[in-house]
Amino acid sequence: METEAKDAKVDLEKRLKELGHLLEDSRNKVKVLEAYSKSQKESWNKKELIFQSLAEFQFGALQELRLSSECIKREILKAQKSYSEEFNCLGLKFKKLSVESENYHLVIAENRKLFNELQDLKGNIRVYCRVRPLLSGQAEKRTTIEHIGENGELVVGNPSKQGKDGNRLFRFNKVYGPNATQGEVFSDTQPLIRCVLDGYNVCIFAYGQTGSGKTYTMTGPNGATEEEWGVNYRALNDLFNISQNRSSSFMYEVGVQIIQYSQTFVSLDLHTLGIKTVSQENGLAVPDASMYPVRSTSDVIELMNIGLNNRAVSATALNERSSRSHSVVSIHVRGKDLHTGTTSQGNLHLVDLAGSERVDRSEVTGDRLREAQHINKSLSALGDVIFALAQKSSHVPYRNSKLTQLLQTSLGGQAKTLMFVQLNPDVSSYSETVSTLKFAERVSGVELGAARSSKEGNIKELMEQVASLKDTISKKDGEIEQLQLLKDLKMHILSVDDFKQQSRFLKRSKYSGGDINQDAEISEYGDGDREDRLSDFSDGCVSLGTEPDILTDEGTKPLEKSEKNKVLSRSIRKLGETTSSVSRSLPRTPSIRKTAATNSISVKPPRRWQ
């Protein structure tokens, strides 16, 4: 028992020691925890102070922010009010500006209308310029076109000069950019073309260097769709549509001529159509150029396609399909008013000129070279005609070329004329572009006189003919009266003169026995003595009024003699007033000396009343 108690006691002491160690460790841990908690408390206190100060700072900042936001709000309200007032003011100004813009466009349209009317009165040639787009292989090249304005301004830049010094300004009626469509181009020419139905003569021709797009504008590309139609197709189609719309009031007959000219005129072979050709007045004065009546748009398309296929075309270094001839499509429209019966005759000439080209650039030889020379020669003649018209020269050299003879009625007559100027924007074509623009500028200054319809022209011509016939009748009446006076005077003069002449002639023949021709030579008087003879006649007649008439019956009363003398004196005075005019109007004839040499016998009375 005691051992167990001792063992138990030892175990208890051992356990007490362990518990003491554990207690000591716990106390140490408590101390550590107390120190840690104390440090944590201090840290939290510091953080609390920091957070408190931060909260106070943020609260102050919030207060400032609130004040600032209120200020900003007040400023925003003030700015909003100011902006609202400014917006209202701008709205009024914008409305006013839109009204002024509309008025400006109206004024521009009115100015354009007045300008066109002025051109109609002056007969100026309208000039429309069209710039061809760069081709696929030329997309990366530079262009000479610097600016295209809305009111017909065109600025061309010289590639050899930099800056504004190399720019040159041209002004035309209209300038179309590279993106202009065929419809846009035709819409501006449509009013001019429609004048043909009213009896006016209209000429539209395309001018420019080879490859500038003349045929594209006038005809369109090969196999063109309706949207790609050129002026030729659209013009004829439009004329047919209008004539159909007016069919209840007017009846129209349309005829077409198509020719080409390089060295000579050639009527394109159109007999494959099966359309009967007719010989119609007012057509082109070209040998073998037949008039083809057309009655529908399909006839026109087929006719134009055949003419286009037969046109001379060949490749050059500048253009794969270069037109080697001038093409002229002439449309003749004859209209009749079904109500009044009046007729009108209008002509539309659509001319696609062959391209002007420099032989060294086109690299043509042989037949193509001769064609180019003839083309340039005819275009040069056209330039001479335009220059003469611009200078208002008394002589215009239309006869220098058959082309200018063909265009004479359009350039020299009272027609409405429009020229399309085609430009190649490529830098390598700068010199040709400037040359073309100079020519177009000269053309725009040509005044042809106010165009008139055929109805107005016929009435005016008839009035002029009536006035001319009236003048002729009055002149003839005056001449008849003068001749009657001369006849009356001769009757009175010869009654005395014959008696005296016979006695004098018998006396001379008795004593001299001279030759009759000698006597005629002595008694000669020429044309220079006509006025003297007339004055001698008048002097002689005056003296006859006071001398007794040998052939007068002695039983005649003095009163009757005096009445006859008065009538004769009045006739003589009237004759004296007309003597100078008669002598000027009569042609001078050779004298008796000259006629005596040709005639075997020439007897003239000797000069009387010296």
Binding-site entries for ATP? 208-215
Provide the strand spans (E) within 473-516: none
Place of tokens 């006629």: 595
* H or E stretch at 76: helix 2-122
CA 164-178-355 angle, to 5 degrees, is: 95
Burial label for 447, CB within 10 Å (0-12, 13-18, 19+), is: middle
Distances (CA, A) of 299 to 106, 150, 239, 306: 41, 38, 13, 11
Count the neighbouring beta carbons within 10 Å of the beta carbon of residue 281.
Answer: 8
What are the structure tokens assigned to 187, written together?
């819409």
H-helix segments, 413-453: 430-444
What lies within 8 Å, CB to CB, of 540 at 6+ separation is: 493, 497, 608, 609
The residue type of 154 is L
Q: What's the rounded Cα separation, in Å, for the pair 569 and 74?
A: 119
CA 379-385-389 angle, to 5 degrees, is: 145
Q: What's the rounded Cα separation, in Å, for the pair 19 and 26?
A: 10
Q: What's the rounded Cα separation, in Å, for the pair 192 and 183?
A: 15
| Gyration radius (Cα) of the chain, Å | 54
**Residue list, annotated binding site:** 208-215
**DSSP structure class, residue 572:** H
Distances (CA, A) of 301 to 57, 236, 276, 313: 92, 9, 17, 20
CA 257 to chain centroid, in Å, comes to 22
Q: What's the rounded Cα separation, in Å, for the pair 101 and 109?
A: 12
Identify the three-state secondary structure at position 252.
Answer: strand
* H or E stretch at 566: helix 558-585
**For helices 182-194 and 231-245, angle between their N-to-C axes, nearest 10 degrees:** 50
Could you tell me if 38 and 45 are in contact, meaning their C-beta atoms sit under 8 angstroms apart? no
Identify the three-state secondary structure at position 259.
Answer: strand
Q: What's the rounded Cα separation, in Å, for the pair 402 and 396?
A: 14
Distances (CA, A) of 332 to 39, 200, 292: 118, 10, 10
Beta-ladder partners of 254: 294, 333
Could you tell me if 184 and 193 are in contact, meaning their C-beta atoms sit under 8 angstroms apart? no
Could you tell me if 296 and 311 are in contact, meaning their C-beta atoms sit under 8 angstroms apart? no
